[in-house]
Chain A
Amino acid sequence: MTHDEPKRPRVLAIDDSDLVHRLLRARLRHERIDLHSVHNATEGIRAARNLQPEVILLDIELEDLDGFEVLARLKADPLTRDIAVIFVSASNETMDRVRGLDLGAVDFVGKPFDVGELKARVRSALRMQRLVRMLAQRAQLDGLTGLWNRAYLDDRLAAEVATSVRYKKPLSLVLCDLDRFKSLNDTHGHPFGDEVLERAAAVLAGGRSPDVACRYGGEEFALIAPGTDLVETMGVAERHRARISEINWPDRPGIRISASFGVADLGCIDGDPTPEKLIAAADRALYRAKETGRDRVVGADRVEWPRIAG
């Protein structure tokens, strides 16, 4: 697949009849979708998890489980609950339609299906699915800077701490605070303050690909550095510090922006590692960076150093 061709949306058809699968394949051939076919509920649920399709076309009468039960299970699993499910059924019962929609199906197509209607309903489900995913992502993005927001940081940091503990891998957190931001805002106005936030955020977002940059609060940012220990992360933070201080402000000669950084890794934590303790350790280091003159990177104290580092 080339980079300029966007990935085709995946559609999973769950139906026990090969007659239906062949028909769907022929009828949806000219749509820009990847159609996958499975013949029973068990395979269907597994395929939904692995394939992560945008849309599922689900028959009601399956041999192993009925379609309602399949839908209920898909909705109960966080991995599959956001997939748009369209019932495709020969049942003409209004009760079936109501029950399907109440369980969370987005639509219902009767069998035998009208080709134009089927295509239109699949397209409509795909459109809706795109919007839902966009909204879900928007809700975790900071409106001004486009970085992940605090809510996302909390979720992601908890997940990264759990993973690092389980696999005994290093994990670091950087807290970054723009220096004298309030007086900058007061002197040059909020629009300029916003511009400073955006430019600094762009620096943090433009770092190494595994790092996760978030807006932590007003002029404070956080960077999760998975798989990276304190020393290496201090190097990363130092590069960000230097780049922020080198930002050019052609319209405002003489202005120089700087930021202070506090870095901590799991080795700086006493007792069981938690996201809160990691944030607190990085925050103490940040406080020291501010106290000792700003525009610098300070690492938190290690409770213990790995033997390899002496």
Chain B
Amino acid sequence: MHRFANPAEFNRLADAILPWAKIIMAAAFAYGLYLALFTSPPDYQQGESVRIMYVHVPAAWMSMFTYMVVAAASFTALVWRHPVALLAGKAAAPIGATFTALALITGMLWGKPMWGTYWVWDGRLTSVLVLFFLYLGYMALWRGLDEEDKAGRAASILALVGVVNIPIIKFSVDWWNTLHQPSSVMRMDGPTMPAEMLWPLLTVALAFKAYFIVVFLYRMKLEINLRKLTVLSSIEARG
């Protein structure tokens, strides 16, 4: 792992992974969307609107996954003073926030035909909303402090406090919801999913993950090059 503390080493690794990730992303998106839009059956209760699930559920999975990436990067950055890990958290967070927003928006669009309203204080929706706030806080703290390195480590502490809290928040929101809204909300994990729906879902999920890797690696390269630029221009300024 310490080998990749060297930015040049990391860039080489990223360049090796990127072409493969792009191929997997393109293939999985094409195949997954074809399956999701054309071959998968409409749900017997929800009709065609069930197809929102093929975007909604992978986005929700990615919102959690990306937070774990940010937390792992933060932990590595704080414990080993790993400079590339610090940037990894910064690079991943906006992608995670976007996935979270996508999960919320598709959830609302799905909720309108299903529940008759865009927003229900459903346990899942609510805890995803809180997760979105955690992302916003992490990103705001990166911008809030002037010194890049301190900002990153402060944000890392916040990410770790957040990751301890996520299960507690999730649990408390579920608990709160069952008290205030006895059922009535249809849960998408009720029946076990038939294979012709599960397969497109997993393919799109793979596409999302490949997309994350592609964007994440580009953002990492950008951050590393920006750092390089700052160092070079300060050397130049000193003459």
Partners in one complex: no
Taking Cβ atoms with an 8 Å cutoff, the residues of B that contact A are none
